[in-house]
Amino acid sequence: MVAPSRSAAYQRQYRQTDAYRAYRRAYARLQKHKTIAFLGGRCECCGETQIEFLEIDHVDGGGSIHRRGVTPYKYWADIRAGLHRCRVLCANCHAAVSNYGHCPHAV
Ligand SMILES: [Zn+2]
Ligand SMILES: [Zn+2]
């Protein structure tokens, strides 16, 4: 006997709720914070440590392919397991490296 609260319909409905979205957001944030702390917790270019500005850079590229190809849990676990060469960059340095191939800080 499956409890009604665990039914597929309930699950489907639950995923539409703000509570679920908030949970997913908090979970994703926690994973990101853990991974950034694991990788040193600061922008490797300019030394920014404000977590809101920090992002993960896939050193060999392919970050979006990686993200799309696996579950969110595996994405962060892969990075912490060292399956992808990653480093922490702030949003500014990350954008410069992605769009121009280098950051002006590093001249
Ligand atoms: Zn930076
Ligand atoms: Zn920089």
At residue 23, the pLDDT reads 94
At residue 105, the pLDDT reads 95
At residue 1, the pLDDT reads 56
Q: How many other CB atoms sit within 10 Å of the CB of residue 90? A: 24
Q: Cα of 15 to ligand 1 centre, how many Å?
A: 36
At residue 16, the pLDDT reads 93
Instruction: Indicate the angle between helix axes 18-38 and 72-80, nearest 10 degrees.
Output: 10
Q: Cα of 67 to ligand 2 centre, how many Å?
A: 23
- Determine contact, residues 29/11, Cβ cutoff 8 Å: no
Provide the token pair at 54.
Answer: 């920090």
At residue 6, the pLDDT reads 73
Q: Where are the domains of the chain?
A: 8-106
Q: Cα of 24 to ligand 1 centre, how many Å?
A: 27
CA 23 → CA 19, 34, 53, distances in Å?
A: 6, 16, 21
How many C-alpha atoms does 71 have within 13 Å on its Cβ side?
5
At residue 36, the pLDDT reads 98
The series of mean pLDDT values per 10 residues for the chain, 107 residues long, is 72 93 93 96 98 96 94 93 96 95 88
- Whole-prediction pTM: 0.81
